[in-house]
Amino acid sequence: MGCSLDRDEGGYVVVFDIKYDDALPINNERARIIQTIQENQVVIIAGATGSGKTTQLPKMCLDAGFGRKKMIGCTQPRRIAATSIAERVAHELGELGSLVGYKIRFGANITPQTRIKFMTDGILLAEAQGDPLLRGYDVIIIDEAHERSLNIDFLLGLLQNIIRKRPDLKVIITSATIDTMKFARVFHNAPIIEVSGRTYPVDIRYVDDGDGDDYVEAAVAQVLSLIRKEGAGDMLVFMPTELDIRECVTLLEKKVAHGGVPASCEILPLFGRLAGKAQNRVFRTSPHMKIVVATNVAETSLTVPGIKYVVDTGLARILSYNARAKTTKLPVTRISRASCDQRAGRCGRVGPGICVRLFSADDYLDRSEYTLPEILRSNLADVILRMTHLGLGDPAKFPFVDSPSSVAIQDGYKLLSELQAIRRDRTLTKSGKVMARLPLDPRLACMILTARGENCLTEMTIVAAALSIQDPRVRPPEKQQQADEAHKAFTSKVSDFETYLLLWQKYQEVAGPSGSQNKARKYCKEHFLSFQRMREWRDIHHQIEQILRQEHGNKQTPLRFVKNASPAPLDAVHRAILSGNLRHIGMRKDKNFYLGAYQKELMLFPGSCVFGKGGGWIMAGELVETSRLYARNVATIKPEWIEPLALHLCKKTYSSPSWRKKQGIVTVKEQVSLFGLVIVAGRFVNFGPLNPLEAREIFIQSALVEGNLGGHYTFLTKNIELLARLEELEQRTRKRGVVADDAQIFDFYATRIPADVFDRGSLNRL
Ligand code: CDP
Ligand code: MG
């Protein structure tokens, strides 16, 4: 039991009587931790998941004398962790529970009494914009720093600067695993305290059933087998996506009916966007057996108590940027060894556990040791966009734990100005601000913004989701022809993007709300589609729809993204896609060969439906460099679409200005090019407004000196008559020099015609 006395400003004595659960390993080190915090500005605390870091450290900070006039702030990578842990700590503090509050993007329960504030790291970053020194806090705990999300890295960078200006601020960084040296290094060798976790042996079993395309069914089979062979016990099943979780829960519920799972068993989903009530059920102790089906939120940030068995698919949805193809994808990927170990560790907390991995031991050994920090797997354009939005400045100057390369940063800036997200001075444009808020690849965000104007959001969200995953079509080497034949059922004749739309439509019919899982599986088999990727596609599509719906609720400048009820013309969809793909256009040179941006030669990918029949101009969703530069995901486009979307990037050159008597203006031939490709070969435009000086000279010479002004002007008629008379006189008298030559006449007009007169209209206004 901890206790501390304080005198606040009013002279009242404040007594904190804080209770600790001594069964939690971190509480064995309490005295040392409190002392180290008091003596150092930055402390790093490493300890196994479940050792009590998140729930106990804020209480220790109170005991150490902080959180009186200012708050103890504790960041969490996920909303669900911020809210559920706030509730837990409030509960642990009993009657002091009102001291604990939380703030997340769409909700808060902060009062003037709040001393311990849990929040997502995104919230603290946003607060730092208005309060750069974070003056509302005397302790900041960056929890789960091992996750190394961009937000965490931004905060670690900011704090390096803030602690210099605020010697009174304490910073605690917690990490579930190793790599704590890295944090210590950026914070001037801050002390590291390791908390040993009390763990029991976990029996790890590998079950590899081959193709791995149906991990939901495989996981359910393992759940049943564990219950049958090992007896009932609380279980944690790891799935990569929300959709997988829902399917898994449904399948398990059916097994209850058939007796494979005890009837009293609680089957509970757990993922980031789960509603509050449903979250709480996961943490409630219950006399009945519990099966929790979770994403990686249950890996480290949330500890579900009492778990005896873990079933691990070994998969998660992890953002990855392909620097070569310049695409960001959110594929379902094999997690690192460190993550696998974390997941297994979840069942060794209360007693010996069993972890069933749905992959082979070789597969495990073949995995990377750790997940790369997000900054090293991100599209720098996205990082810059977010940093600019948060006012963090130039990434080249930011004190990152792991700095991105300067080439990548330059490239990022270039892409952002191409997407019209930033201005020349590197401030955000209006659409840049929206793009920064949408958690999507900036190119996709740009397409969605254009789609909003083109009224084709329904189609664009489907295509954008398709571009975020790996192609769901499979072509097994020994059955390529068969696969191609089967794919014809939904292959477009004109555009690979339309193919996605057609496939989506067909698939919705079999797998949509009224369809069945079995039918969907059968359809995939027959049509050489990966069932798993089709599911990923629908999952991401759902996410994008949610992101756009949330944007309505944005307080500053809400944008409504309204889906079109009737199908949009394909041209509109293509224009939206083109807005994010300007760098990927091509002009035909030869059948399947195109001249791309910066004179690069592109070849249509042989698998594209446009192969062999591409038009004069194409765009590609991806340029992939292998033996040559291939254009993948291709559509024929109309060149006239390009210029309006690329006004900020087009270069214009002018030639052959000449006087047009009929129009009464000087025109010039204008050529427009984008990245070295001529998109408008030659059109005549009014030269006057472009170059008044030169236009005026041509006007004077052709219209006035040479008499081609057109219309009736007494002065001109008189001058011409006079000239004619003088010429006649010159001939009769054989005397030279009576008539002025053209140059003299030009000068005559030039001195009399004002500088802003360069065509008939401006002459008439005199
Ligand atoms: O942060 P760390 O992983 O070190 O542990 P923690 O989240 O502080 O969890 C400490 C203990 O509190 C674990 O035994 C959790 O099961 C329990 N806990 C809980 O029962 N309900 C919550 N909402 C949060 C934590
Ligand atoms: Mg924790």
pLDDT of residue 192: 94
The pLDDT confidence band at residue 97, using thresholds 50, 70 and 90, is confident
- 566 inside domain: no
695 Cα to the center of ligand 2, angstroms: 72
Q: Please report whether residue 569 resides in a domain.
A: no
DSSP for 7-62, please give it.
Answer: E-TTSPEEEEEE---TTSGGGGGHHHHHHHHHH-SEEEEEE-TTSSHHHHHHHHHH
Residue with CA nearest ligand 1 atom 15: 303
Pairwise pLDDT comparison (119 vs 198), residue with the higher score: 119
Kindly identify the ligand whose nearest atom is closest to the C-alpha of 307: 1
581 CA from centroid of ligand 1 (Å): 46
This prediction has a pTM of: 0.78
Choose the weakest-confidence range: 70-79, 321-330, 434-443: 321-330
> What does the pLDDT read at residue 2?
43
Tell me the average pLDDT across 750-762: 90
Instruction: Evaluate if residue 11 carries a pLDDT over 50.
Output: no
How far, in Å, is the centroid of ligand 1 from the Cα of 465? 35
- Does the pLDDT of residue 322 top 70, yes or no? no
Q: What is the reported pLDDT for 155? A: 97
- Listed residues 620, 645, 670: the one ending a domain: 645
Residue 122 covered by a domain: yes
Task: Indicate if 550 and 631 belong to the same structural domain.
Answer: no
Q: Which of 375, 410, 427 is a domain's end point? A: 375
Burial readout 677-703 (b: 16 or more C-beta within 10 A, e: otherwise): bebbeeeeebbbeebbebbbbbbbbbb
Q: Whose CA is nearest to atom 13 of ligand 1?
A: 50
Mean pLDDT of 564-584: 96
Which residue's alpha carbon is nearest to atom 6 within ligand 1?
52
Hey, which of 24, 88, 141 would you mutate to test ligand 1's pocket, going by the most ligand atoms within 8 Å of its Cβ? 88
**748 Rama class: left (phi>0) / alpha (psi -120 to 50) / beta:** alpha
pLDDT bracket for residue 666 (50, 70, 90)? very high
The region of weakest confidence among 147-156, 174-183, 219-228, 231-240 is 174-183
Better-predicted residue by pLDDT, 8 or 124: 124
The mean pLDDT value for 449-455 works out to 96
Which ligand 1 atom sits closest to the C-alpha of 55? Answer: 8
What confidence score (pLDDT) does residue 198 get? Answer: 66
CA 60 vs CA 82, 88, 220, 249: distances in Å? 18, 15, 42, 39
The verdict on residue 397 lying in a domain is no
Q: Among all chains, which residue has been given the structure tokens 């002459």?
A: 763
Averaged pLDDT for residues 701-721: 84
Q: Given this model, what pLDDT does residue 742 score? A: 81
Residue 284: how many other CB atoms lie within 10 Å: 10
Q: Which two tokens stand for residue 346?
A: 């979840």
Residues 588 and 717 in one domain: no
Band of pLDDT at residue 205, cut at 50, 70 and 90:
very high
* Contact residues for 764 (Cβ-Cβ < 8 A; gap 6+): none
Q: Which ligand is nearest to the CA of 143?
A: 2
Output the domain CATH number for residue 63.
Answer: 3.40.50.300
Question: Is 448 found in the same domain as 524?
Answer: yes
Same domain, yes or no: 546 and 641: no
- Number of alpha carbons in the 13 Å side-chain half-sphere of residue 54: 28
* For the chain, percent of residues with pLDDT exceeding 70: 95
Of ligand 1's listed atoms, the one at least distance from the Cα of 306 is 16
- pLDDT, one tens digit per residue, over 347-380 is 988 889 999 999 999 999 999 998 889 888 888 8
Cα of 141 from ligand 2 centre, angstroms: 11
Query: Of 103-112, 584-593, 716-725, which one has max mean pLDDT?
Result: 584-593
Residue 389 lies in a domain: no
636 shares its domain with 749: no
547 and 628 assigned to the same domain: no
**Residue 361 Cα, ligand 2 centroid: separation in angstroms?**
28
Q: Tell me how crowded residue 350 is: count the other CB atoms within 10 A of its CB.
A: 15
> Inter-axis angle of helices 215-230 and 242-257, to 10 degrees?
40
Least distant ligand from the CA of 92:
1
Final residue belonging to a domain, choices 170, 195, 220: 195
Q: Taking the alpha carbons of 733, 735, 740, 741 in that order, is the dihedral positive or negative?
A: positive
SS3 content of the chain, % helix, strand, coil (to 5): 45, 20, 35
**Same domain flag for 207 and 272:** yes
Query: With 60 as the cut, is the pLDDT of residue 3 above it?
Result: no
Does one domain contain both 528 and 590?
Answer: no
Residue-wise pLDDT for 225-270, tens only, equals 999 999 989 999 999 988 899 999 999 999 887 888 888 899 999 9
- Check whether residue 166 and residue 208 sit in a common domain: no
3-state secondary structure 443-464: HHHHHHHHHHHHCCHHHHHHHH
Asked if 239 and 363 sit in the same domain, the reply is yes
- Residue 435 in any domain: the answer is yes
| Alpha helices for 308-405 (secondary structure H) | 337-345, 361-366, 380-389
Could you tell me if 758 and 696 are in contact, meaning their C-beta atoms sit under 8 angstroms apart? yes
CA of 346 to the centre of ligand 2 (A): 13
Nearest atom of ligand 1 to the alpha carbon of 48: 4
Q: Are residues 186 and 220 in the same domain?
A: no
DSSP, collapsed to helix, strand or coil, labels residue 670 as strand
Cα–Cα dist 132/164, whole Å: 13
How many other β-carbons are positioned within 10 Å of the β-carbon of residue 753? 17
pLDDT-based confidence at 692, cuts 50/70/90?
A: very high
Q: What does the alpha-carbon distance between residue 460 and residue 464 come to, in Å, rounded to a whole number?
A: 6
Range of 467's domain?
Answer: 419-555
What are the phi and psi torsion angles at 646 (to 5°)?
-120, 25
**Which protein residue's CA is at the shortest distance from atom 10 of ligand 1?**
52
- Asked, for residue 503, whether it belongs to a domain, the answer is yes
Q: Could you tell which of 303, 304, 307, 342 is best to mutate to test the pocket of ligand 1, judged by most ligand atoms within 8 Å of the CB?
A: 303
Ligand 1, residues at Cβ distance < 6 Å: 24, 47, 49-56, 84-85, 88, 283, 303, 305
Residue 55 shares a structural domain with residue 132: yes
Tell me the CA–centroid distance for residue 214 and ligand 2, in Å: 31
Tokens at 757, concatenated: 């007169």
Q: Which atom of ligand 1 is nearest to the CA of 304?
A: 16
* 61 lies in some domain: yes
Which stretch of 229-233, 278-282, 312-316, 416-420 has the lowest confidence by average pLDDT? 278-282
CA 97 and chain centroid, separation: 37
Using the mean position of ligand 1's atoms as its centre, give its distance from the Cα of residue 73 in Å.
18
User: What are the angstrom distances between the C-alpha of 389 and each of 73, 409, 431?
Assistant: 22, 16, 12
Query: How many domains are there within the chain?
Result: 5
pLDDT > 90 fraction of the chain, expressed in percent and rounded = 61
